[in-house]
Amino acid sequence: MSEQSTAEPGRDDETAENARQDVIAVDADDTREGTVNRLDAHTGEGVRHRAFTCMLFDEEGRVLLAQRAARKRLWDTHWDGTVASHPVAGQTQVEATEERLEEELGLTPDQYEGLTVTDRFEYKRHYLDEGVEWEVCSVLTATVTDLDFDPDPEEVGGTLWVDYEDLYENGRYYRQLRLCPWFEIAMRRDLDPSVEKADR
| 47 close to 36: Cβ distance less than 8 angstroms | yes
Distance (Å, whole) CA 99 – CA 39: 21
Binding-site residues for Mn(2+), in ranges, read: 42, 49, 86, 133, 135
Side chain identity at residue 15, one-letter code: T
Would you mind telling me the total number of residues written for the chain in this entry? Answer: 200
> Of the candidates 55, 57, 54, 53, which has an alpha carbon nearest to the alpha carbon of residue 145?
57
Which runs of consecutive H residues, i.e. helices, occur in 50-133? 93-105
Binding-site residues, in ranges, read: 42, 49, 86, 104, 133, 135
Binding-site residues for Mg(2+), in ranges, read: 104
With a CB cutoff of 8 Å and minimum separation 6, the contacts of 54 are 81, 82, 83, 84, 97, 100, 101, 115, 139, 140, 141, 142
Q: Is 154 a catalytic residue?
A: no
Torsion angle of C-alpha atoms 136, 58, 60, 52, degrees rounded to 10: 0
Catalytic residue among 3, 33, 59, 135: 135
Residues with active-site annotation: 135
